[in-house]
Amino acid sequence: MNAVKKISVLISGRGSNLAALLDAIDAGRIQGRMVRVLSQRADAVGLQHAEKRGIPTTVIDVKAYPTRDAFDAALGDAIAADAPDLIVLAGFMRVLGAAIVQRFAGCMINIHPALLPSYPGLHTHKRALADGVKWHGCTVHFVTPEVDVGPIIGQSAVPVLPDDDEATLAARVLDAEHHLLEDAVRWFCADRLRVDGCTVTLRPAAAPPPLFCQNPCQHSQG
């Protein structure tokens, strides 16, 4: 039986994806244990989801650091203190530099509100509506130094309806995010994901777990 994976989550706002993950863990759908929730904003409402469940929280105030590298180093040390097996960027509105991404290579995933490679970056719903696309959605991918281009774990598509505005489309995508992120975290915790270059494959549930990747997560403090 697989060892229970330790999970850290990074958020910046209301934390709805965090709440969905916590519900899935509590219900036994994810064989993982959340060890910490971190944010670069002390006013992130999502921190309350963790605090109500007794999960430690840490705020690394971006304004307290003179450079991005200094912030990333502090954030990386705070993450590494718990030695998590998986770091989930769940609405974390901060671009991470190459050093911290490489430090946790193969162990850090992100959920993005678009069907990558379409609409990387910000304002995805507005851009999708402006282009008149018929389908929109979300993507979970491994984090790499290049923004929003890491190996894709999974995607979920939703229809764009004729009367959609940004709010209605965002709500439909957010619901899809909750389900997709739960799936991705569950697969990771069950050692079912295999990365081969830019391709992620899902192993059958009954397959014996191999070494996850050739570039394992590093938890050194230095």
What are the tens digits of pLDDT across the range 96-140? 999 999 999 999 999 999 999 999 999 999 999 999 999 999 999
Q: At residue 126, what are phi and psi to the nearest 5 degrees?
A: -60, -45
Report the alpha-carbon distance of residue 102 to residue 218 in Å, rounded: 9
Element (H, E) at 125: helix 124-131
The catalytically annotated residue of 112, 125, 136, 141 is 112
Q: What is the pLDDT of residues 160-194, one digit of tens each?
A: 999 999 999 999 999 999 999 999 999 999 999 99
Active-site residue, 179 included? no
Report the alpha-carbon distance of residue 28 to residue 157 in Å, rounded: 26
Q: What is the pLDDT of residues 12-52, one digit of tens each?
A: 999 999 999 999 999 999 999 999 999 999 999 999 999 99
Ordered by start, the domain boundaries in the chain are: 5-202
How confident is residue 218, by pLDDT bands cut at 50, 70 and 90?
very low
CATH of domain 5-202: 3.40.50.170
What's the order of all strands across the beta sheet hosting 193-196?
Answer: 57-59, 32-39, 5-11, 86-89, 108-112, 135-142, 152-159, 199-202, 193-196
Please report, to the nearest 10 degrees, the dihedral formed by the alpha carbons of residues 107, 59, 4, 210 taken in order: 10
Angle between helices 166-189 and 16-26 (to 10 degrees): 40
Report the alpha-carbon distance of residue 212 to residue 195 in Å, rounded: 8
